[in-house]
Amino acid sequence: MRDQPEQQAPPVQRLRIRYAKRGRLRFTSHRDFSRAFERAIFRARVPMAYSSGFNPHPRISYAGAAPTGAASEAEYLEIALAEVVDPAVIRTRLEEALPDGLDVIDVVQSPGGALADLLQGSHWLIDLDADPATTHDAVAAFLAADAVSVERMTKKGLREFDCRAAVVALSAVDRPAGARLDLVLRHGVPAVRPDDVLSGLASVAGLDPAGAPLLTRLAQGPLDESTGTVGDPLSS
């Protein structure tokens, strides 16, 4: 008989990491990213804490990943370490070990608690190939509505839900070739995503941009309901 594997030592330090998905690597899916990140921590020789069992895994907690195809400046995860290290050193090593386009922005020591609890809202920019005036009108109509019902195919089948209540702030700004939406979304259940808001704009005001919109998450963190702003989850 084979012996049971020995128990792994508990973590001695937890680090929170903010990273970006940029340019062509915005097509990295969450699964792709987690595989790439696990290889990067091995290359970077980060002294990870591992889970126990026959097939130990490095302890990594992901939170609030952006959908495949969306760029992001504000993705977060937390890693547990077997040794105490300087977060700045880990940042440099990880930055070297990850491909360009998956870029580490910040590494800080975790004060404890759940990272996911701090990710209450997101600030998005959505670039559209649409007429600016039409976009302005659509935004006004959307904001005037109490509720905007949209449908989306989920793992559990086609679901219908309201996408209006989760919108904390929405405005349209012009850009050289089309329009840009500036959107703050509250995280909740069911999760309302930027493309749900686009579906809502289509159903309320018939906004129908050409081609695929470019989504960019600028920030993700604690939500200030009074100002409609998204804070930094690593500074709290």
Partner 1 sequence: MSAPASAPESGPESGPESVFPRLEPRLPSVSKPIQYVGGELNSTVKDWDCATDGPTVRWALMYPDAYEVGLPNQGVQILYEVLNERDWIVAERTYSVWPDLEKVMREEAIPQFTVDGHRPIRAFDVFGLSFSTELGYTNMLNALDLAGIPIHAADRTDDDPIVIAGGHAAFNPEPIADFLDAAVLGDGEEVVLAISEVVRDWKVEDCPGGRDELLRRLAVSGNIYVPRFYDVAYAADGTIEAVVPNRPGIPFRVRKHTLMDLDAWPYPAKPLVPLAETVHERFSVEIFRGCTRGCRFCQAGMITRPVRERSIETIGDMVENGIRRSGFEEVGLLSLSSADHTEIGDVAKGLADRYDGSNVSLSLPSTRVDAFNITLANEFSRNGRRSGLTFAPEGGSERMRKVINKMVTEEDLIRTVAAAYSHGWRQVKLYFMCGLPTETDDDVLAIAELAKKVIAKGREVSGRNDIRCTVSIGGFVPKPHTPFQWAAQLDHETTDERLKKLRDTVREDKRFGRAIGFRYHDGKPGIIEGLLSRGDRRVGRVIEEVWRDGGRFDGWSEHFSYDRWVGSSEKALAGTGVDLAWFTTRERDYDEVLPWDHLDSGLDKDWLWADWEDALAAADGADVEVEDCRWTPCYDCGVCPEMGTEIQIGPTGQRLLPLSVV
Query: What does the binding site for partner 1 look like in residue numbers (CB under 8 A)?
Result: 1-2, 20, 22-29, 31-33, 35-36, 38-43, 50, 54-56, 68-69, 71, 73, 97-101, 103, 105, 125, 211-212, 214, 216, 218
Residue placing its CB nearer to partner 1 in the complex, 49 or 164: 49
Query: Which two structure tokens, joined as six digits, stand for 209?
Result: 């941009």
Rank residues 84 and 177 by Cβ distance to partner 1 and give the closer one.
177
Nearest to 71 by CA among 33, 28, 105, 129: 28
Q: Nearest approach, Cβ of 213 to partner 1 (angstroms)? A: 9
Question: Least distance (Å) from partner 1 to the CB of residue 146?
Answer: 31
Neighbours of 111 (CB within 10 A): 9
Nearer to partner 1, 20 or 118 (CB): 20
Nearest-approach distance from CB 161 to partner 1, in angstroms: 22
Nearer to partner 1, 44 or 164 (CB): 44
Residue 130 or 164 having the CB closest to partner 1: 130
N-term to C-term CA, the chain: 50
Q: Which is nearer to partner 1, 143 or 214 (CB)?
A: 214
CB of 186 to partner 1, least distance (A): 22
- Picking from 129, 119, 116, 135, the residue whose alpha carbon sits closest to that of residue 197 is 135
CB 233 within 8 A of CB 223: no
As measured in angstroms, the least distance from the Cβ of 39 to partner 1 is: 3
Both tokens of 10, joined, read 């508990």
Minimum CB–partner distance for residue 130 and partner 1 (Å): 14
